[in-house]
A and B are shown apart, each in its own frame.
Chain A
Amino acid sequence: MTALLEATGLVRSFGTRRAVDDVSFTVAAGDALALFGPNGAGKTTLLRLLAGLLKPAGGVARIGGDALPAVSARARVGLISHRTMLYDALSARENVRFAAQLHGIADLDAATQRALEALRVADRSDVPVRALSRGLQQRVAIARAIVHQPDVLLADEPYTGLDEQGSAALTGLLLERRAAGAALVVVTHQLSEGLAVASQAAVMRAGRFLRHEPTRELDLTRYAAEYRELFS
């Protein structure tokens, strides 16, 4: 399959420390990469490089063949972070609608409503974001990230603050996006959540991939034991 998301030799340093050190991988349409690793392993930095938020010191990230941070590449990206990236004075609907406007979606209201309903937050959508719980804010943040139905969805700790219902909705949504042909990269500390949506899994430490393999051959219990052993 052709790669929708392609990282080649990505390098990024902060001072003398290499946060991402020569990382290469591809994610095809309909594939999902789950990225695991301890705090400070470089997962978030890698995701920010893939979103075009950071400039790599070396290597290149491409989306559909277009190198980031080109507008044509960013138009195909949706980003979910552990920070909500929402404006707390605006309502959930206004936040999602604003994102839809920036992507030039023709039917703004319908796209906004669809995204809010997908995250089961449509009934609270006219409340200012600051009045919502952390979990509901996270749902709105996810709705904002998917309102333009991105080809590449980058999710950094997307389950932060979500309750059981929210987590189930998110897992369903990620699988739905995969089935629709999107490429996903999911950064999480929860192996079960990551492996539930992924077709490939990678473990990062000190900016490098320690292991990277397809998930179809993985047994969760054994993988979890090996993961713990890696960082013990």
Chain B
Amino acid sequence: MSRATPPGMFASALIVAQKDLAIEFRTRSAFLSAMVLSLLSLVIFYFAWDPTAVAAVDVAPGILWVTFTYSGLLGLHRSFGVEAAERAMDALLVAPISREAIFLGKAMANLVFVIGVQLVALPAVSLFYNLPFSSIIGPLALVMVLAAIGLTCVGTLFAGITSNTRMAELLLPVLALPFFVPIVLPAAQVTAKLLAGRPLDESLGWIRILLAFDLVFVYACTLAFPFTLED
């Protein structure tokens, strides 16, 4: 008879995250799609860009964050798609783990996904726009991780909300993008200042805003997620 002790919240979240990453590693469908989307976006932006009118350092931060945001959305949508196919979510909900653990697990897997997309897209931006990211890679990596945390938390929550709707692919960006603004705005601002060669001290205010929104989104989305599962 069942006598095992169910794992705690963070252990359960890790198990869920490992499972999601294993599925993505096997199929690579979302990651490849995100890669193609981000590279295509960069190519389109590159050919639409007039280097004689706007300097690369001025245009690159916006392009970088638009690319990250839209590419990341592909993975966010998929994270609940795998649960919907054969109603695997039911098995997760019957399992003795909290709804919050399911959310955190999915958010962790999505975080790895978004950071993976960033790791491929960043060198591509550097190549297209001939920008010296290597000199600012430390602070930029910090900003990218902080922004990825906020984006994945909000995105995972809305992916969960829209997963049972008929127009999930359409609804997810419509609902999530307005909530991405408080994350993307400071992230783009810090990137712009770093690329312009300004010292990190000048960006601390934006980094604090980013950190504050991360904390709010992690906390609020984790608490809100169980309510999205109510029938």
Contact = CB atoms under 8 A, between A and B. Distances in A.
Given A55-B230, A75-B96, A99-B91, A105 B86 contact: no
B27 A149 contact: no
Contacts of B94: 51-53, 74, 77, 79
A71 B23 contact: no
Interface stretch (A88-96, A168-176, A223-231): A88-96
B26 A81 contact: no
Contact of B15 (A52, A53, A89, A101): A101
Nearest to A180: B1
A80 B91 CA distance: 9
Contacts of A98: 15, 19
B97 interface: yes
B166 interface: no
Nearest to A12: B231
A128 B26 contact: yes
Contacts of A122: none
Given A54-B231, A84-B86, A90-B23, A181 B1 contact: yes
Chain A contact surface mostly: loop
A208 interface: no
A87 B23 contact: yes
B95 A104 contact: no
B85 interface: yes
Given A71-B97, A75-B96, A144-B91, A102 B15 contact: yes
B2 A148 contact: yes
B2 A102 contact: no
Interface string A153-189: 0000000000000000000000000001110000000
Given A55-B231, A102-B6, A85 B95 contact: no
B120 interface: no
Contacts of A71: 6, 96-98
A21 interface: no
Interface string B192-231: 0000000000000000000000000000000000000011
B88 interface: yes
Given A84-B86, A102-B97, A90 B6 contact: no
Contacts of A101: 7, 15
A76 B7 contact: no
Given A90-B19, A98-B19, A104-B7, A83 B95 contact: no
A88 B85 contact: yes
A102 B231 CA distance: 23
Interface in B57-93: 82, 85-88, 90-93
Contact of A74 (B1, B85, B96, B231): B96
A103 B12 CA distance: 9
Contacts of A181: 1
A75 B19 contact: no
A87 B19 contact: yes
Nearest to B14: A101
A150 interface: yes
A177 to B, nearest CB: 10
A98 B2 CA distance: 16
Contacts of B92: 102
A103 B97 CA distance: 8
B181 interface: no
A214 B193 CA distance: 77
A1 interface: no
Contacts of B12: 102
A4 B82 CA distance: 33
A6 interface: no
B134 interface: no
Contacts of B2: 75-76, 103, 148-151
Interface of B: 1-2, 4-7, 12, 15, 19, 22-23, 26-27, 82, 85-88, 90-98, 230-231
Q: Which 5 A-B pairs have the closest CB atoms?
A: A75-B96, A85-B91, A102-B95, A83-B87, A104-B4
Interface of A: 51-55, 71-72, 74-77, 79, 81, 83-90, 94, 98-99, 101-106, 128, 144, 148-151, 180-182
14 contacts: A51-B90, A72-B96, A75-B96, A84-B86, A85-B90, A87-B88, A94-B22, A98-B19, A101-B15, A104-B5, A144-B91, A148-B2, A151-B2, A181-B1
